[in-house]
């Protein structure tokens, strides 16, 4: 019984991410920017750790009739898509005359992305841009990029959701997991410090922090190319 209760506690922990997302929306509505980004970071921490807890508690074995993965997908769509899109709209990060449809574009594209059966592949990759709209919103806001650049980024990344490129699933990647997670923790610490320094975080630090998204993207593309080369070779 204690093990079953523990398994339910893990599901509750995952579901708390939705509560955090709802409180984030309230913070956005109050224009509490620093609080908004701290809450977004908290949602990421919950999402980054609940899978480890679920595997440790063996939730699939102990509560087989409850779909924890579906719960996780619902919470992720809320926190990584709906919340940041609402933020980008309210923070005036999009061109005024096109703001509504630009904010809606990730909602539609990511709804497709989340519902693909192989959105997370059997070899632990994300297929298509993995809807990191919270990170996109953070950089668009803190770097004060021009509105036309923001619009282009939203459109381009929405299109990339439909492009079958494999992106690293950091916590379960079969390759380079340790170095990716260590660099990710360092990047996360920098982001938390930058949020603390709002409304004027050090620009040099923000620019330096972009090295991790660049590393993540480059490594994902390199693994994709290498995998294609193996399968296309005579021995593959």
Q: What is the pLDDT of residues 86-115, one digit of tens each?
A: 999 999 999 999 999 999 999 999 999 999
> How many Cβ atoms from other residues are within 10 Å of residue 186's Cβ?
13
In percent, the amount of the chain with pLDDT more than 70 equals: 97
Write phi, then psi, for 198 (nearest 5 degrees).
-60, 145
Which single residue is written with the structure tokens 């990339």?
A: 160
User: Measured on CA atoms in the order 3, 5, 11, 13, is the torsion positive or negative?
Assistant: negative
Beta bridge partners of 166: 127
Which single residue is written with the structure tokens 């996780």?
A: 72
Reply yes or no on whether the pLDDT at 223 is more than 90: no
What's the Cα-to-Cα distance from 157 to each of 40, 131, 225, rounded to whole Å?
20, 8, 20
Reply yes or no on whether the pLDDT at 230 is more than 70: no
pLDDT tens per residue across span 167-202? 998 877 778 888 999 999 999 999 999 999 999 999
User: Do residues 10 and 59 make contact, with C-beta atoms less than 8 angstroms apart?
Assistant: yes
Measured CA to CA, the distance from residue 201 to residue 204 in angstroms comes to 9
Write phi, then psi, for 31 (nearest 5 degrees).
60, 35
Mean pLDDT, to the nearest integer, of 10-31? 97
Which two three-digit tokens encode residue 229? 């080369």
Beta strands at 166-168 and 125-127: parallel, antiparallel or unpaired: antiparallel
The mean pLDDT value of the chain amounts to 92
Which two three-digit tokens encode residue 142? 């803190």
Reply yes or no on whether the pLDDT at 229 is more than 90: no
């Amino acid at each position: 019984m204690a093990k079953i209760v523990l398994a339910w506690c893990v599901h509750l922990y995952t579901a708390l991410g939705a509560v955090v997302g709802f409180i984030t929306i309230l913070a956005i509505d109050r224009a509490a920017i620093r609080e908004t980004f701290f809450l977004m970071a908290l949602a990421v921490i919950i999402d980054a750790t609940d899978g480890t807890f679920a595997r440790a508690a063996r939730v699939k074995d102990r509560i087989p009739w409850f779909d924890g993965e579906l719960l996780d997908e619902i919470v992720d769509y809320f926190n990584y898509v709906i919340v940041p899109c609402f933020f980008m709209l309210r923070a005036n990060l999009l061109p005024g005359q096109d703001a509504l449809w630009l904010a809606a574009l990730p909602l539609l594209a990511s709804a497709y992305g989340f519902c693909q059966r192989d959105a997370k592949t059997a070899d632990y990759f994300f297929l298509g841009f993995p809807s990191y709209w919270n990170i996109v919103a953070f950089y668009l806001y803190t770097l004060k990029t021009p509105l036309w650049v923001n619009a282009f980024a939203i459109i381009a990344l929405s299109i990339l959701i439909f492009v079958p490129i494999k992106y690293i699933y950091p916590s379960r990647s079969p390759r380079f997991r340790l170095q990716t997670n260590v660099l990710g923790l360092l990047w996360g610490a920098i982001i938390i410090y930058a949020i603390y320094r709002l409304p004027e975080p050090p620009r040099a630090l923000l620019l330096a922090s972009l090295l991790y998204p660049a590393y993540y993207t480059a490594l994902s593309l390199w693994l994709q190319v290498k995998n294609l080369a193996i399968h296309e070779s005579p021995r593959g």
